Amino acid sequence: MATSPPATNVPESHLDIDVLNGRYSSGRGSWEELFDYGTTRYHLRLNPSNDGKGVQDELLQRLGRAVDEVDDDQVDDCADECRRLMWPLLKSDYSSRSGFAESEVIKIEGQTVDGVLQPRKHDAYLKHPRTAPIFNSFPDVPTFPRHAVTQLEKLDHEIFKVKINDETLCMKTVHRTASEENFVREIKILHQCSHAFIIRLVGLVTNDDAYVEAMLMEYIPNAETLRDREQIDSVELTKWTQQMKEAIDYLHNKGCVWGDAKPDNVLIRENGDIVLIDFGGGFTSEWIEEEHYESVSGDLLAWERIVEFMKRRAA
């Protein structure tokens, strides 16, 4: 009789997964992710049903719309929901296996049968890692070997609270985005910036071959995003409106743009000041139309909409 694998490294929730790779196929409308669960690596997948009556269909449609609109937050939310839908199938499969580590990737696809999601095998492939460490083209940025980094806490997907030489920092790895280009873009922008209301780049983490695996930024204790703040008083409204505009003007004077400007990418420091984050590109349609993507006008339009967002919460 098979015994359940040990509980070591088994995530407690579908939200605790560290995704190694994932994608949404616009043509087929499918979702899939690769990650480790306990001693086993899983490749989960959802396809639309043939009759349009699958329990996964509406969710995959929402995911498709979010991908088309480049709404990263909604994409993340939908991916979490896809994983939640597949979670019982994964747990059932894992508990049926032996206590030894699997050398193969277990591939499970969810298929609706009589209104219930059932597992079946698939033959799709996802590579790992999805993004490779990059050549260090930033000689003026301090570097730290990866063995010098102690991870303290996972803050988000591929974002960690870490410690280096008794200093607490925030680390974002190259695997955070699906493109090395986005990762390089953010380093280039932050390397040019030194502003109180823009997140500060501290250094880069390199592997044994001196390639860059992650960037290090200042860690903001007890940070909340502007979207998290349910009420904003008149003093905060005036101050944050001005601080955001100062930071955006500073970027533009440097020949840079913020890009994915939205309340989710504005953090509030413990001293009450704001700080802009996330300079890897992209846009969210609620705040910037596609025709204004990666432009000064896009940043300014998003700033105006964020101000209106704050005013509604100050009312």
162 shares a domain with 243:
no
- Number of independent structural domains in the chain: 3
245 shares a domain with 152:
no
Which residue shows structure tokens 């088994």?
Answer: 10
pLDDT for position 9: 59
186 shares a domain with 101:
no
202 shares a domain with 106:
no
pLDDT for position 5: 42
CATH, residue 154:
3.30.200.20
In a domain, 180, yes or no: yes
In a domain, 4, yes or no: no
244 shares a domain with 210:
no
In a domain, 126, yes or no: no
116 shares a domain with 21:
yes
242 shares a domain with 180:
no
Last residue of a domain, one of 174, 194, 218: 218
pLDDT for position 3: 41
CATH, residue 235:
1.10.510.10
Residue span of the structural domain in which 186 resides: 143-218
Last residue of a domain, one of 190, 218, 246: 218
> Rounded to the nearest 5°, which phi and psi values hold at 304?
-60, -40
In a domain, 132, yes or no: no
88 shares a domain with 158:
no
200 shares a domain with 248:
no
Last residue of a domain, one of 180, 197, 218: 218
61 shares a domain with 158:
no
Q: Are 79 and 22 in contact (CB under 8 A)?
A: yes
Question: d(Cα 199, Cα 217) in Å, to the nearest integer?
Answer: 7
231 shares a domain with 202:
no
In a domain, 273, yes or no: yes
In a domain, 95, yes or no: yes
pLDDT for position 103: 60
178 shares a domain with 113:
no
In a domain, 6, yes or no: no
pLDDT for position 206: 97
Show pLDDT as tens, one digit a residue, over the chain (315 residues): 344 444 445 788 898 887 888 888 766 789 999 988 877 889 999 999 989 899 999 999 999 998 888 787 888 899 999 999 999 999 999 988 865 545 688 999 999 999 999 999 998 888 776 678 999 999 999 999 999 999 999 887 788 999 999 999 999 999 777 578 889 999 999 999 999 999 999 999 999 999 999 999 999 999 999 999 999 999 999 999 999 999 999 999 999 999 989 999 999 999 999 999 999 887 777 888 878 888 999 999 999 999 999 999 986
pLDDT for position 27: 66
Q: Are 275 and 269 in contact (CB under 8 A)?
A: yes
Average pLDDT, rounded, for the chain: 89
